[in-house]
Structure 1
């Protein structure tokens, strides 16, 4: 199941993930060899994969027939954290939910809409305007005649006109050819490129070791919790004045909240390090697995390596790899 979350964050669509699982002959939890895109959607939104349990997802609407319907606010739901052993981190789960919202927003939908996002094209949601920052959308010009052309165009320009953004359209094959050139440059200097990627990992990991601060924070939190229990005990035995109790309770609670926030920040930083390291290692694996130069655009290779393309002009592009490395490319 972790693979599904990772591939979704790599930019794959529900159907693309399902096709990959079937190709690798991976069965569903029920032993079925057929994967549906709807199954992928359910997995990506199920809190149980990060170890939580959401109770009362459905409610009984007829006690005679025991008919149950999806709980859409009729009753309160209860989320139990750390209910069981997780398969993915909570951070990864939340990142996926944000990515789902981002994709839905790009398609002009809202979360919960029945319309589904689909990465039908490899460049979808990965091409951005260097002028206004909006994403580029795929358009077909002269679709009914021989001069048919597929281009990517700034959404702001399309929706609001050149007064809002004067970014020019870019031919799809031009962007695809640009990636081929970028990849081949990296491949021709594969050893140097991999050394650069590994150096990036070392730079990320060389940042302050967060393990020791986390242990110290945990110790401080446990001490404060003990202090809070002692304070409550004194109050229950009427051995402390109400005003003193209120002040001390507020102080300890505030310190606990500050430590929790500090811990969350460090854990988020650690998770970011882990994600970047994983992405860099995946790119290295892709490079090592390749046996020759790229002759034509490859969807899977592009999705595995590229985070986004920023269009600086119709002939100048900035490729941002999933490792964070940026590579400029020019159309001559």
Structure 2
């Protein structure tokens, strides 16, 4: 699956193909005439054996459909905001992660001390080197396993924090706004997580709060 994309447009890295998952990229049609138009299509639409059936989109269509999708989520603003609050609360509750990270830090300290003792004993007294190497490698494996798991948990926690922040920004925008009458670039950049284009022409807008609207 290709997830490479190019371009600096506000639509870059936000529109994907519902068939293969590749990002859509921009292409200019009739660039030198009055009929000039910017369209978006799958990066590798015409490459390889697999031919995706997802249609291309022009920018005006994306903007108009976004306005409709955003207005749709405002129809039940209170329920939406409550769902977002619950999600944000769940995301920020990292007590389980923090507990496991603490246990891993203790494991690292213990293994570090055991490794030092192992090395010290080997330098002071004659030992079977195969047994020493096996014991030493076992400590190293435990250390690396605990370290990798700790990094994984910290990455997970950071991602949850970022999602909680994005959800908070989304809630703020929803709470403050009335239905849109035209496309708002700042709002798009704040509230949209991903837009999926399907082969049947449907477009799914996934908002930062997790809500999905099909248009």
TM-score bracket, shorter-length normalisation: 0.7 to 0.9
User: How far, CA to CA, are the matches of 2:84 and 2:49 in structure 1?
Assistant: 39
Is 1:154 aligned to residue 53 of structure 2? no
Match of 1:211 in 2: 98
Relative contact order (alpha carbons < 8 A, sep ≥ 6): 1 or 2 greater? 2
Return closer, same or farther for 1:244/1:160 CA change in 2, 3 Å cut-off. Answer: closer
Counterpart pick for 1:127 among 5, 8, 15:
15
* 1:140, distance to aligned residue in structure 2 (A): 3.5
Is 1:106 aligned to residue 9 of structure 2? no
Match of 1:136 in 2: 24
Counterpart pick for 2:141 among 254, 265, 279:
254
Return closer, same or farther for 1:132/1:213 CA change in 2, 3 Å cut-off. Answer: closer
Aligned length: 213
Q: Which runs of 5+ in 1 are unaligned?
A: 1-101, 108-117
1:210-229 to 2 correspondences below 5 Å: 210-229=97-116
Match of 1:296 in 2: 182
What's the secondary structure of 1:264's corresponding residue? helix
Counterpart pick for 1:326 among 206, 212, 215:
212
**1:156, 1:165 within 8 Å by CA — same for their partners in 2?**
no
* 1:277, distance to aligned residue in structure 2 (A): 0.9
User: What is the Cα-based RMSD across aligned positions, in Å?
Assistant: 2.5
1:178-327 to 2 correspondences below 5 Å: 178-205=65-92, 209-238=96-125, 240-290=127-177, 292-313=178-199, 315-327=201-213
User: How far, CA to CA, are the matches of 1:250 and 1:145 in structure 2?
Assistant: 69
Match of 1:165 in 2: 52
TM-score of the aligned structures, taking structure 1 as reference length: 0.57
TM-score of the aligned structures, taking structure 2 as reference length: 0.85
What's the secondary structure of 2:82's corresponding residue? helix
Q: In proportion to residue count, which structure has more helix?
A: 2
